[in-house]
Amino acid sequence: MSGEFELINRHFRRRSPRDDVVLGVGDDAALLRPPAGQVLAATVDTLIAGVHFPEQTDPADIGYKALAVNLSDLAAMGAEPTWVTLALSLPHADEHWLHAFAEGFHALAARHRVALVGGDTTRGPLSITVQALGWVPEGQALRRDGARPGDDLYVTGTLGDAGLGLAVLQGRAQVAAQYRAALLERLNRPEPRVEAGLALRRLASAAIDISDGLAADLGHLLAASGVGALVELPSLPRGDAVLVADPHGQLAMTAGDDYELAFTLPPGREGELAALAGRLPPVTRIGRIEASPGLRLVDAVGDPVAFSLQGYDHFREF
Amino acid sequence: MSGEFELINRHFRRRSPRDDVVLGVGDDAALLRPPAGQVLAATVDTLIAGVHFPEQTDPADIGYKALAVNLSDLAAMGAEPTWVTLALSLPHADEHWLHAFAEGFHALAARHRVALVGGDTTRGPLSITVQALGWVPEGQALRRDGARPGDDLYVTGTLGDAGLGLAVLQGRAQVAAQYRAALLERLNRPEPRVEAGLALRRLASAAIDISDGLAADLGHLLAASGVGALVELPSLPRGDAVLVADPHGQLAMTAGDDYELAFTLPPGREGELAALAGRLPPVTRIGRIEASPGLRLVDAVGDPVAFSLQGYDHFREF
């Protein structure tokens, strides 16, 4: 449609950073040249105003995050992102909003050399759906179903920052002023762990990204692998603000929006992981995979700890 | 998230009809094996309740149509559809609705041997975004920019049926009772012209699907090719009900939702087109491509005709 056309042209058509885009935005479909010997990784995620981000969020942050959550899914597969499509529904035309949204989106796309190859814009409640495509050599993908008893359990980065940032934003928590900006940055501009995912190919036995809280997402990994896990709560990596607000680790276990990776490492491969230090964000061992199904939490002396592990579920009653 | 997980499992996880799906729904991304020697065609389209379909539309029709409009885009590229992802936003859990939606979606997917490989479901205003992926041998795609002066202009099927169906549904038009069901079927269950797109590879010089009205979509093709066209209004293929309601061709030129293909044929290739009769729906020559930009309409004796060619634009003011 003509309006969509002009909109996409004005804000979303950029010179492609890739020479594998045969035909980009502007035809009925994009035409894309696959690399040899790899499999295509495809994922889709939607962000809806009021559900996935507060209504008043800076549109540049919305644009950034809509792409980031999808790149995070590819990272969790060990896939290299190449192309994305964007479906944008907006209640009314707002040039300033669109300009800022596109800037946030393209800032992250450029950093990962990802090309926006197609889009659809419609009038409707504010909602953004991104589909991300990437590539991984066949047999090297980081799946959820490869964890085995005896594997060690790791996470990248720190946990709970984004959740605490949201709580601060909503007035449910208070933190020292010096932490506020960094927590909101974690909430609004999560760093998809693309390089970590690539580095962990052929090393991690399983991986998942932590979008809905470690407990919930680790639960998916455990279920897919048919195993359980023991998590040592004091080991959960937390920044200073989260350590103060969440001394027992409940927030780190359950808060969403961190977009770190949880992964499992087969026994005897710690040296290879350590050798990747320059290519990885900080990684922390938080527990181990066990044969018995379920998730067990223990304190510093190994005693069981129980608290609610209800994660963040956007559509719980389904 | 667990809710999304269960939802997808219950309604959308089917045995894949394809052996190129290495890993389908249920991980961070699907893993898909590309065919050799082809380029990937990728497209995305959103349907929003109240914008793209009346709120009270049968959910089975919504599921069907959400897929159909995307397969139509691949058809217009001459691409063979293989995989789709689905982002579904729903205001509340409704098992009956979901069951019917999934049935409509899968009915069309099965017919074209398309696998649903990923999805995201969230709470929000009713909106469906489908991304469709397909393949076409490099150099054989039907692009919008290949039309040349002297090419003949064709369309598949008949035009205006869906638009008249919508007008009937909304009480803006009346038709004889015998036509009503067929018009609504065209509106709710458009037939994506996938086989026609495949058959037209290496024959049509350009193609586009007619989603927003022939005038609007042909305008995109003409602009992309840097040419103009003369359309003979009496030649526009119309069913009986449309001929009665639209004797001058205005509806056929402007009504959306037909999902027929418009394509151009280089001179001297009529015989090859005729030889495809068994593989194509009815095709009708409606005019020709000319060097002078713009769209010119003529009547039965070749005199110019002028009427509003404003097509259906979901977001006109952008």
Name the B residues in 157-176 with CB < 8 Å from any A CB. Answer: none
Instruction: Tell me the C-alpha distance between A61 and A64, whole Å.
Output: 5
pLDDT computed for residue A128 by the predictor:
96
> Which band of pLDDT confidence, cut at 50, 70 and 90, is reported for residue B3?
low
**pLDDT > 90 in chain A, percent:** 80
pLDDT computed for residue A4 by the predictor:
53
Question: Per the domain annotation, does A172 fall within a domain?
Answer: yes
Q: 3-state SS of B256-312?
A: CCCCEEEEEECCCCHHHHHHCHHHCCCEEEEEEEECCCEEEEECCCCCECCCCCCCC
Check B40 against A33: CB less than 8 A apart.
yes
What are the residues whose beta carbons fall under 8 Å from the beta carbon of B245, sequence distance 6 or more? B160, B164, B167, B173, B175, B251
Question: Per the domain annotation, does B316 fall within a domain?
Answer: no
Please say which residue of B82, B103, B137 terminates a domain: B137
Give how far B318 is from chain A: nearest CA, Å: 5
Question: Per the domain annotation, does B311 fall within a domain?
Answer: no
What are the residues whose beta carbons fall under 8 Å from the beta carbon of B15, sequence distance 6 or more? none
Check A4 against B86: CB less than 8 A apart.
no
| Mean pLDDT, residues A53-64 | 93
Please say which residue of B108, B137, B166 terminates a domain: B137
| Mean pLDDT, residues A259-279 | 96
Check B224 against A121: CB less than 8 A apart.
no
User: Which of B74, B133, B317 lies at the smallest CB-CB distance from A3?
Assistant: B317
Question: Per the domain annotation, does B160 fall within a domain?
Answer: yes
Indicate whether A133 and A162 sit together in one domain.
Answer: no
Assess contact for A115 and A17: CB atoms under 8 A.
yes
| Mean pLDDT, residues A77-89 | 96
Give the domain range for residue A158. 151-305
> Which band of pLDDT confidence, cut at 50, 70 and 90, is reported for residue B220?
very high
> Which band of pLDDT confidence, cut at 50, 70 and 90, is reported for residue B9?
low
Please say which residue of B137, B165, B194 terminates a domain: B137
> Which band of pLDDT confidence, cut at 50, 70 and 90, is reported for residue B318?
very low
Residue B17 or B249, more confident = B249
Indicate whether B109 and B225 sit together in one domain.
Answer: no
User: Which of A122, A212, A220 lies at the smallest CB-CB distance from B314?
Assistant: A122
| Mean pLDDT, residues A173-190 | 96
User: Which of B4, B124, B315 lies at the smallest CB-CB distance from A122?
Assistant: B315
Indicate whether A80 and A180 sit together in one domain.
Answer: no
The domain that holds A77 is classified in CATH as 3.30.1330.10
Indicate whether A51 and A115 sit together in one domain.
Answer: yes
| Mean pLDDT, residues B252-270 | 96
Check B39 against A31: CB less than 8 A apart.
yes
pLDDT computed for residue B310 by the predictor:
64
Indicate whether B198 and B252 sit together in one domain.
Answer: yes
> Which band of pLDDT confidence, cut at 50, 70 and 90, is reported for residue A9?
low
Q: Is the pLDDT of residue A153 over 90?
A: yes
Check A28 against B77: CB less than 8 A apart.
yes
Indicate whether A162 and A297 sit together in one domain.
Answer: yes
Name the A residues in 32-91 with CB < 8 Å from any B CB. Answer: 32-34, 39-46, 48, 51-52, 73-74, 76-77, 79, 83, 85-87, 89-90
Domain count of chain B? 2
Question: Per the domain annotation, does A316 fall within a domain?
Answer: no
pLDDT computed for residue A252 by the predictor:
95
Indicate whether A17 and A133 sit together in one domain.
Answer: yes
The domain that holds B206 is classified in CATH as 3.90.650.10
User: Which of B40, B125, B317 lies at the smallest CB-CB distance from A125?
Assistant: B125
Q: What angle do CA A226, A231, A232 make, to 5 degrees?
A: 165
| Mean pLDDT, residues A243-272 | 95
Q: What's the pTM value of the predicted model, to 2 decimals?
A: 0.93
Indicate whether B156 and B112 sit together in one domain.
Answer: no
Indicate whether B20 and B160 sit together in one domain.
Answer: no
Assess contact for A30 and A20: CB atoms under 8 A.
no
Choose among B57, B195, B184: nearest CA to B128: B57
Indicate whether A110 and A155 sit together in one domain.
Answer: no
Indicate whether B83 and B193 sit together in one domain.
Answer: no
Q: Is B147 on the interface with A (CB under 8 A)?
A: no
User: Which of B83, B209, B313 lies at the smallest CB-CB distance from A42?
Assistant: B83
Indicate whether A117 and A186 sit together in one domain.
Answer: no
**pLDDT > 70 in chain B, percent:** 94
Question: Per the domain annotation, does A21 fall within a domain?
Answer: yes
Q: Retrieve residue B100's tokens.
A: 């019917």
ipTM confidence: 0.92
Nearest Cα residue in chain B from A143: B27
Q: Is B258 on the interface with A (CB under 8 A)?
A: no
**pLDDT > 70 in chain A, percent:** 94
Any binding-site annotation on B28? yes
CB pairs under 8 A between A and B: 264
Question: Per the domain annotation, does A276 fall within a domain?
Answer: yes
**In which residue are the tokens 């060990």 written?**
A78
Question: Per the domain annotation, does A202 fall within a domain?
Answer: yes
Choose among B101, B108, B126: nearest CA to B49: B126
